[in-house]
Amino acid sequence: MTRDITAEQEYEDYLNEQNRINTELPNAKFTISIDYDKLDNVISMQRIIYILVTKSCYCYGDNPMDTQIFKITSNNVITNRLVLKELIKKELVLDCNHSYVEGFHMLNNNSNIFEIMTGS
């Protein structure tokens, strides 16, 4: 069997990137699964947006929880990093199988309402 250097390197890169993200955005009660180089991507030019966190995935079975709404305000454009920082500050907890935050999806064109995208 030959060692797969590429896979090892990729895994190491992944760990380094996770370390970097966790250093810059510490104490999250969820896993940030957004590429480091996308943290500063602008997701809205608005000053106020709302992030909806639905807790109705299969993990909750027949007992879905209420949707949580987080208000994010900014004096400037709103980036992934800013939203993540605010969600950490507001103590968002993702404690089901879907604890990986993959991004934020605008619900309608140019609206200020976003849905959190989570994965397992």
State residue 12 phi and psi, 5-degree precision: -65, -40
Contact of 64 with 88, CB cutoff 8 Å: no
Q: What kind and span of H or E run contains 42?
A: strand 42-44
Nearer to Zn ion, 52 or 96 (CB): 96
Question: Tokens 């999250």 identify what position?
Answer: 28
Q: Which stretch binds Zn ion (CB under 5 A): 18-26, 55-63, 66-74, 105-113?
A: 55-63
The reply on whether position 67 binds Zn ion by CB under 5 A is: no
Cα end-to-end distance, the chain, whole Å: 31
Judged by CB under 5 A, which stretch of 34-42, 65-73, 75-83, 92-100 contacts Zn ion?
92-100
Q: How far is the CB of 98 from Zn ion (least distance, A)?
A: 4
- For residues 87 and 105, the answer to whether their CB atoms sit within 8 Å is no
Rounded to a whole number of angstroms, the CA Rg of the chain reads 16
Contact call for residue 97 and Zn ion (CB under 5 A)? yes
Does 98 bind Zn ion (CB under 5 A)? Our answer is yes
**x/- map, 6-45, Zn ion, by CB under 5 A:** ----------------------------------------
Could you say which of 25, 59, 88, 117 contacts Zn ion (CB under 5 A)? Answer: 59
- Calpha distance 23→39 (Å, rounded): 13
Name the site residues for Zn ion (rule: CB under 5 A): 57, 59, 96-98
